[in-house]
Amino acid sequence: MRKSTAVILILFLIVPPRACFAWSEGGHHLIAAIAFSLLTNQEQADLLDVLKQHPRFAEDFVPPEKLANEEERTRWLVGRAGYWPDVARKQPKYHRSTWHYELGPTIVLGNADGIEVPQRPGSLPLDATLETQELYLSQAVELCRKVLSDKSQPAGDRAIALCWIGHLVADAHQPCHAGSLYMEKVFVKKDGDRGANSIPTKQRQNMHALWDQLLGDEFAQRTNRRRFAEITSSPQLTEIGRIAVSIPGGLDPLVWLGESRKAAIEHVYTPEVLDPMNIVARGIAEKPEPLELSEPYLKNAGRAAQVRAVEAAHRLAAVWENCLRE
């Protein structure tokens, strides 16, 4: 077997199927669908009523014809809501590039005097609206909670906020969305390694993409159905989700992001990743060479990703529930 083929197979064989969900299209669908399943029937109906007022509903929320029944079509709609802010990247009216991540450091290595390390975002500006471009993830979550919770807001705005909440709660649990690596002589600009986007890998284009897609890529109904059943029927994963909601600050996006930065230190920026970056910092190489990550790294990443996504789904259910109830 060719080495490149073996590496690809690692992603899908060494990580058990029940670990295979993601923050790409399939993962956002799955996280939102699990969250939806945790709501009461009335809460589900209320959520769908809000979603159907989306200004792009007729264009962007058309279910695939192959879906077997109304339950699957409903699950697809909710999943699409969680994924929609990525659909909106091609729609200037709705695209908000900085909302998807949190500015600031996860790790700073070396002499910080020559590194442009930015401060983390502060509180939500008082004049912020859904049209405000320069917000970051924690601020955007707060804004969208306010909009969705306020029944006096335009129906279309509440639907947009609902989608952004579904997306951002998931993204906040992806370790590469919570901050960046800053490293002397390597990643010294304000955006650092851009949430691991600047670390090339052989398995995927870069480290961020690998983590986004570790557990799936595009939406696939059969795969999504199987993973949904495996995750929702697991008592262990259900308990992980329950604990995530019940801990102090369990519904605070700053807590989610702090957990993700810790996960990034433990599981993303391992010595296997940082040692090659140090070669650049010491002047031995001009730029990082694409990393070929090991089987143990990928197995560990798969386990960490599974836990973060289950926590995201349960927290998303609680946030949606609170916003719809107010």
Task: State the pTM of this model.
Answer: 0.90
User: What local confidence, expressed as pLDDT, does residue 23 receive?
Assistant: 67
Mean pLDDT of the chain: 91
| Residue burial 81-114, b: 16+ Cβ < 10 Å; e: rest | bbbbbbbbeeeeebebebbbbbbbbbbbbbeeee
Residue 15 has pLDDT above 80, yes or no: no
The least confident of 12-16, 22-26, 192-196 is: 12-16
Query: Lowest-confidence range among 58-62, 65-69, 209-213, 239-243?
Result: 65-69
Ranges 21-25, 54-58, 134-138: which has the least confidence: 21-25
Say which CATH number the domain at 243 has.
1.10.575.10
Mean pLDDT computed over 1-17: 38
As a whole number of angstroms, the distance between CA 175 and CA 246 comes to 21
Q: Is the dihedral of CA 12, 17, 23, 26 positive or negative?
A: positive
Return the beta strands (E) in 180-230 as ranges: 180-183
- Whether the predicted pLDDT of 19 surpasses 60: no
Residue 198 makes CB contacts below 8 A (sequence gap 6+) with 187, 192, 206, 288
Q: For residue 108, what is the enclosing H or E element? A: strand 105-109
- Of all helices (H) and strands (E), which one includes residue 87? helix 70-87
Per-residue pLDDT, averaged over 209-223, amounts to: 81
Burial of 282 (0-12, 13-18, 19+ CB in 10 A): exposed
User: Which of the four pLDDT bands, split at 50, 70 and 90, describes residue 112?
Assistant: confident
CA 124/CA 135 separation, integer angstroms: 8
Contact 115, 186 (CB under 8 A): no
- Give the pLDDT score at 224: 80
Residue 145: domain span: 3-325
145 is written with which tokens? 């909670």
Q: How confident is the model at residue 219 (pLDDT cuts 50, 70, 90)?
A: confident
pLDDT tens for residues 165-214? 999 999 999 999 999 999 999 999 999 999 999 999 998 889 999 999 87
Helix (H) or strand (E) holding 107: strand 105-109
**CB–CB of 307/240 below 8 Å?**
yes
How confident is the model at residue 222, as a pLDDT? 82
Weakest-pLDDT range from 18-27, 164-173, 311-320: 18-27
Q: Is 245 exposed, middle or buried (0-12, 13-18, 19+ CB in 10 A)?
A: middle
- Per-residue model confidence (pLDDT) at position 66: 86
How many structural domains are present in the chain? 1
pLDDT tens digit string along 227-269?
Answer: 888 889 999 999 999 999 999 999 999 999 999 999 999 999 9
- Provide, rounded to the nearest whole percent, the portion of the chain with pLDDT above 70: 92
Q: What's the confidence (pLDDT) of residue 4? A: 39
Instruction: Work out whether the CA dihedral 118, 192, 163, 248 comes out positive or negative.
Output: negative
